[in-house]
Structure 1
Amino acid sequence: MKGISPKVSIIVPVYNVEEYVEQSVSSIISQTYENIEVILVNNASTDKSIDICSRLTADDSRVKVVEIENNNGVSHARNYGLRFTTGEYIMYMDSDDYWINENVVSKLMEIFSSNCKVDFITFNYTKYFQKDHIFKNELLFNQQALAGRTKYEKIEGLITSGTFPMSCWSKIIKKDFIVNHNISFILGTAGEDMAWFIELIDKCDDFLAVNEFFYCYRRQNGKSLSSGFNESRFNSLFNITQVIIEQFKTQETPLQKYVLAYMAYEYSILLGISHNFTGKKRIEILKELNNYRWILKYDLNPKVKKVNKLISLAGFNLSVILLNYHIKRLN
């Protein structure tokens, strides 16, 4: 007799996404793998999102809505949603994104069945620039650097190929692993995926990175957390970057050089974004950033190598301007 397939729980924080949430949830409930549940965490939406979510629950019993009275951010919503999951595996989705095809969960569970010792699987994603209607695949994982390797060799392979997969929505994870290690998202900060993923790779015995473009990451929608930038968000990102750097700079563990190498990449982004500020504020920020310039010596990431070369040729201040231009062009 054929056994029952393990249940997969998908947590979706929802906040004022009436234009997108139905497409997001539809891409989940249309999966060929049927033993799933969708936990929609309504984060005090003020638009029609909750009405849409309520209709979706009426149409499919696998969809559940849980309410948060006050919007305390996406990290709180993800942590809160985990409490209501009953599946053996956990996935996350942002409510303005969607899965690209109907076989996402079935393929991932098939991979898990052949690799039962890994704690999580990470996969690729496609960026959808909505305003320009352009789809752009992220870089492929370097399978030659990953196949048959140890955990730390895999981490180095991801860093050196510039494909370190931070985002929680590009993962499927064993729930027992999350619960047993008490892995959660830090509240009240942007870049919450960074600390979360570092803890994930630190605590796991092993993981897989598979070249499957399952996830569509929507940009240019005006509501996405990544669609804009302001001083508060910059300060939050700089703060979490500082916290992680300070945590690992004296922590002599096998993970140290890899975490600092990734933070060198994040630091490079902060350098470019800092040019959005003007006058005394820009001077203050650049002075603070300059205190962490030493992080660029951890240049396993090829993009960090380019930033080092740029600074050596153009100098620090001009490099900040050029990095800012590059980031704006990409986004």
Structure 2
Amino acid sequence: MQDDLVSIITPVYQAEKYLAHTIESVQAQDYKNWEMLLVDDCSPDQSAQIIKAYQAEDARIKYLKLDTNSGAAVARNRGLEVAQGRYIAFVDSDDYWTSDKLAKQLAFMKAEAYGFTYTNFAQVDEEGQVLKDRADLPQHLDYDGLLKNTAIACSTVMIDRHLVGDFRMPLVRKGQDTATWLMLMRERGCQAYLLDEVLNHYRQVPGSISSNRLGALKRTWHTYRVLEGLPLWKASYVFISYALNAIKRRI
């Protein structure tokens, strides 16, 4: 691993509408020592051509392609396999960062010796108009806290692999990001710490996985009962807390 290199991982599927904006928000970072691993999940649109055009002008941008459409977990794991950086960050192909995101988050982690951090974020619509300017997020989360408040947006996460260790995401089609944070906390005793600044814009796109609230409820219940193996009483308790906190964040 290269000590100060940040490896940014982006799964790509039907992303042509927003992908250029996402890539350019990474290129605009004040912190320049990064690589962006864009993993094409057999996208049928023009995403591959868009990535390759940016790659031709910027060697830090790297195009990877899966052999078959396999979902975001497999795509992110492919990026994790080839990532050269000590630090891992994620950005989804329809989200975008402020230009100081990497610099501020790295400084925060180094100053406090944190291995796992997340930031605040704004919710925006398809055109980038702000729907909510920040989220109500806890200052830090351990395993039990995250079960009751799945408040960590994937595009805000940064992980120091020297402190946390190497990792892969569980092979589930949906909700693999939260399942990963829970796994790291349960197996490695990690806690996640909030940098309470809005450094990411989380795009609400109709029809996307993240916009489907009923699907999110089902996915979270599946995580509790199947992936985490919680007994029914505990799964019910934390699920109610999760639902209340999710409602609170949208008020």
Assess same fold via TM > 0.5.
yes
Q: Which residue of 2 aligns with 1:175?
A: 161
Instruction: Give how far 1:88 is off.
Output: 0.6
1:58-98 deviation line (CA, Å, top 9, x unaligned): 11110001111211101110111111110010001110111
User: What SS does the aligned partner of 2:64 have?
Assistant: strand
Q: Which residue of 2 aligns with 1:248?
A: 230
Instruction: Give how far 1:115 is off.
Output: 1.3
Query: Which of 160, 176, 185 is the aligned partner of 1:192?
Result: 176
* CA–CA separation in structure 1 for the residues paired with 2:128 and 2:89: 29
Which structure 1 residue ranges, 4+ long, deviate > 6 Å from structure 2? none
Comparing 38-47 and 202-211, the one that deviates more: 202-211
More RCO (CA 8 Å, sep 6+): 2
Counterpart mapping for 1:1-331 below 5 A: 6-99=4-97, 101-116=98-113, 118-130=114-126, 133-143=129-139, 156=145, 164-177=150-163, 179-180=165-166, 183-202=167-186, 203-222=188-207, 224-228=208-212, 238-244=221-227, 247-249=229-231, 262-266=238-242, 268=243, 303=244
Structure 2 segments unaligned to the other structure (5+ residues): none
TM-score, scaled to structure 1 = 0.65
Question: Residues 54 and 164 from structure 1, CA distance in 2 versus in 1: closer, same or farther, beyond 3 angstroms?
Answer: same
Contact 1:119–1:204, Cα closer than 8 Å, also in 2 = no
In angstroms, what is the RMSD of aligned CA positions? Answer: 3.4
Q: Give the number of the structure whose residues are more often strand, by fraction.
A: 2
* CA–CA separation in structure 1 for the residues paired with 2:157 and 2:191: 13
Instruction: Give how far 1:132 is off.
Output: 9.1
Structure 1 segments unaligned to the other structure (5+ residues): 251-255, 269-302, 308-325
Instruction: Give how far 1:238 is off.
Output: 4.4
TM-score, scaled to structure 2 = 0.83
Bigger Rg, structure 1 or 2: 1
* CA–CA separation in structure 2 for the residues paired with 1:173 and 1:22: 25
Instruction: Give how far 1:119 is off.
Output: 1.4
User: What SS does the aligned partner of 1:211 have?
Assistant: strand
Amino acid at match of 1:36: W
Instruction: Give how far 1:165 is off.
Output: 2.5
